[in-house]
Structure 1
């Protein structure tokens, strides 16, 4: 797994996780009460190492801290939420 922490890059509308020289990210659209995650991407060389899961978990924690709900607009986030019921309260 990555050693960094997930950050919200508001200027680019995405959550980011640094992994070495690469960045995994999750694009989002923001409404007044909801974050719609539209796409997650992990560089090909990093796939299969749990990086995307770490990214989504960190993004969901930031969303919770901000008091917002989440809408899964990409298949990976849909699957993640199904496997992690501890985030069910965020689904909006």
Structure 2
């Protein structure tokens, strides 16, 4: 019986100056962009290049963005279709939706 160690958590970078969460995978920049208006974060775009797709990167970006919103007391507008679908699949984040 073999047991695999879980993959290490990604240390997603939050670039507050550009309103972006970032992760670089195999040289490919993956992003979650948002616009902050007061205490409302509108998540506008999730981008993961096809070359590194299917690895759970978009989910990790969105989870980090939503966890950051919760910690900072932000409401969330999921304008990006991926973020909206993620929130629907994860009811623990639905209370953040503005």
Output the TM-score relative to the length of structure 1. 0.89
Give 4+ residue runs of structure 1 displaced > 3 Å after superposition: none
| Higher relative contact order, structure no. (Cα contacts within 8 Å, ≥ 6 residues apart) | 1
Runs of 5+ consecutive residues of structure 2 not aligned to the other structure: 1-6
| 2:35 corresponds to 1:29 | yes
Q: Secondary structure at the match of 1:55?
A: helix
Distance 2:23 2:67 in 1: 13
Q: Kindly name which structure, 1 or 2, has the bigger radius of gyration based on alpha carbons.
A: 2
Distance 1:72 1:36 in 2: 6
Output the TM-score relative to the length of structure 2. 0.84
Q: CA RMSD in A?
A: 1.6
Runs of 5+ consecutive residues of structure 1 not aligned to the other structure: none
